[in-house]
Amino acid sequence: MTKSNTCCFTGHRPQKLPWKFNENDLRCQQMKEKAKREILLAIESGKTHFISGMAIGFDMICAEIVLEYKKQYPSITLECAIPCKGQEKLWTSELQERYHKIVKQADKIRCIYNHYVDGCMQERNRYMINNSSLVIALFNGQAGGTKITIDYAKQQGLQIKIINPI
Quote the CA–CA distance of 90 and 37 in Å, as a whole number: 32
Q: What are the tens digits of pLDDT across the range 81-128?
A: 999 999 999 999 999 999 999 999 999 999 999 999 999 999 999 999
Quote the CA–CA distance of 83 and 114 in Å, as a whole number: 9
Write down the domain spans for the chain. 3-163
Q: 3-163 maps to which CATH number?
A: 3.40.50.450
Write down the mean pLDDT value for the chain: 97
Q: 166 pLDDT band (50/70/90 cuts)?
A: confident
Quote the CA–CA distance of 39 and 61 in Å, as a whole number: 11
Quote the CA–CA distance of 49 and 8 in Å, as a whole number: 8
pTM above 0.85, yes or no: yes
Query: Given a cut of 80, is residue 1 above it in pLDDT?
Result: no
Residue 95 in contact with residue 54, Cβ under 8 Å? no
Give the torsion sign (CA, 85, 87, 93, 98). Answer: negative
Q: What are the tens digits of pLDDT across the range 37-65?
A: 999 999 999 999 999 999 999 999 999 99
Residue 63 in contact with residue 52, Cβ under 8 Å? yes
Q: 78 pLDDT band (50/70/90 cuts)?
A: very high
Quote the CA–CA distance of 147 and 162 in Å, as a whole number: 11
